[in-house]
Amino acid sequence: MGGATGSVLTGIGAIFLGTLSWLALNFFGKPILTLREKRREALEVGERYAYVHSRNDDIQLYNLHSKATPNDEQNIAFSELTRVGIALRAHLREHSVSTSLYCWMFGYDLESGARALLNLARAVQNLDYIDPTLRRLILHALFVALSATHHLSVDEIAAARTVMKRWHDGNCDLTTSSSTADNA
């Protein structure tokens, strides 16, 4: 009789542990894995399309490996930057405990990362010329927001943090004024 009871308890324990593992994977593991994928994609897309722009009705391309026409490249850049920026913002808005803890632990600022990508998307579609220095500053803010700063100097990180502080203070779009680059 003791053997049958032990088997039943072992079976119940296995089912309980299996259910607990499934819950941990789906509610903690998957959101973190998805966030890590989106973070990497944000860094890639930001770097790939940061300098695509229109100047005097001539598209300047910095993505030399693309087979797209200049107008297509501008539309693709805008679409990709916007898509990934919105995806980062969605991770922030879902308020998942696991992703919030993960972002806090690794110092990710998803809101600033999303704003950087959306500002780069605006710069792609902007009819006025946006200085590459300002674009680089916005790209550096993306790197700082997503804790990918190993290649940046201390001064570049400080400048990016200043831009991010201005975003948190309410200046969301740095591409509307050329005087912003002077102030940042």
135 CB contacts (<8 Å, ≥6 apart)? 50, 51, 53, 120, 123
Closest C-alpha to 117, from 44, 33, 66, 37: 44
- pTM comes to 0.75
- 21-43 pLDDT tens trace: 888 787 788 889 999 999 999 99
Euclidean distance between CA atoms 124 and 54, whole angstroms = 7
Which two three-digit tokens encode residue 139? Answer: 């790209």
Amino acid 179: pLDDT: 40
| β-sheet bridge partners, residue 59 | 54
Question: pLDDT tens-digit profile of 43-71?
Answer: 999 999 998 876 544 445 444 555 555 67
Query: Which run of H or of E encompasses 154?
Result: helix 154-168
